[in-house]
Structure 1
Amino acid sequence: MKRNIKNYFKNINFLYIKGVASVGDEAILRVKSLKTCFFTDEGEVPAVDGVDFYINKGEILGIVGESGCGKSVTSLSIMGLLPKGIGKITDGEIWFKDENIALASEKRMKEIRGNEIAMIFQEPMTSLNPLFTIGNQMIEAIRIHQNISKAEARKRAIDMLKLVGLPRAEEMIDEYPHQLSGGMRQRVMIAMAMVCNPSLLIADEPTTALDVTIQAQILHLMKQLNEQFGTAIMMITHDLGVVAEMCHRVVVMYAGKIIEEGDVQTIFRHPKHPYTIGLIRSVPDIRERKERLYSIPGSVPKPGSIKYGCRFAARCEQAFERCFSENPDLYEVEQGHRARCFLYAKEEHAIHERTVTTS
Structure 2
Amino acid sequence: MSQYQPPDYYLLDELIGEEYRLIRDSVRQWVNRALLPIIEDYAQRAEFPRQLLPGMAELGLFGPTIPQEHGGGGLDYLAYGLMMQELERGDSGIRSTASVQGSLVMYPIYTYGSEEQKAIYLPRLASGALMGCFGLTEPNHGSDPAGMLTHFDDAGDHVILNGSKMWISNAPFADIAIVWAKNPDGQVQGLIVERGMEGFSTPETHNKWSLRASATGELVFDQVRVPKTNILPGITGMRGPLSCLNQARYGIAWGALGAAMDCYDTAVRYAKERQQFGRPIGSFQLQQKKLAEMLTEITKGQLLVWRLALLKNEDRATPAQISMAKRNSVATALQVAREARQVLGAMGITGDYPIMRHMMNLESVVTYEGTHDIHLLITGMDITGFNAFG
Alignment TM class, shorter chain as reference: under 0.3
TM-score (norm 2): 0.25
Structure number having the greater strand percentage: 1
Q: With structure 1 as the length reference, what TM-score do the two structures score?
A: 0.26
More helix per residue: 2
Q: Which structure is higher in RCO with an 8 Å CA cutoff and minimum separation 6? A: 1
